[in-house]
Amino acid sequence: MRRPSLPFFVVAIALVAPAHGAGPLARGDAFPAWSLVDQSGATVSSRDMAGKPYLLWFYPKAMTPGCTAEGQGLRDSFAAFQDRHVEILGVSFDAPADNKTFVAQERFPFRLLSDTDRTLAVAVGAADSTSQPVAKRISYLVGADGKVRAVYANVTPATHAKDVLADLSAR
């Protein structure tokens, strides 16, 4: 018996469809391995973060109003995060030079990482495809064991730092 072939339009769609992300991770999921370049050109990886909790906050674009407000809140609460031994790392699709300017302009005491090929963003639901122009505003609190402790999918830039710190205090 002969198998029916797929219609041409289905094959054509499959050939041109972009790679899509799997959506946001959930609490308890293992955070995928990653390696990105920071604003100074140094490579930072999940291997470097092993054994340390960290907040990985994806932001759409350096030096824009919402991203600046979010970064300022994290900067102003930096000591409270340090007291809880949580490292803050920002991630965008911006080039390291743009992130370097953003860090200098806002005096951020934390590193900003460049996911210019969007690989990590797609893997964790901060982008739907590698052609997405900017990252979604989403953050992950990753435990020292490399597992997601909290997902912040609906971030309000002005209160994000306080929201995360409230969760850390409740734990």
Q: Give the domain extent around 47.
A: 20-170
CB 102 within 8 A of CB 132: no
Residue 98 is part of a domain; what is its CATH number? 3.40.30.10
Reduced to 3 states (helix: H, G, I; strand: E, B; else coil), residue 82 is helix
pLDDT for 22? 59
Token digits of residue 14: 């499959």
Please indicate, yes or no, if residue 12 is contained in any of the structural domains. Answer: no
87-92 and 111-114 as β-strands: parallel, antiparallel, unpaired?
parallel
Q: Which residues are catalytic?
A: 67
Question: Mind listing the pLDDT tens digit of every residue in the chain (171 residues)?
Answer: 544 444 433 333 232 333 445 578 999 999 999 999 999 999 999 999 999 999 999 999 999 999 999 999 999 999 999 999 999 999 999 999 999 999 999 999 999 999 999 999 999 999 999 999 999 999 999 999 999 999 999 899 999 999 999 999 987
pTM assigned to the model: 0.85
Please indicate, yes or no, if residue 9 is contained in any of the structural domains. Answer: no
Please indicate, yes or no, if residue 134 is contained in any of the structural domains. Answer: yes
pLDDT for 21? 52
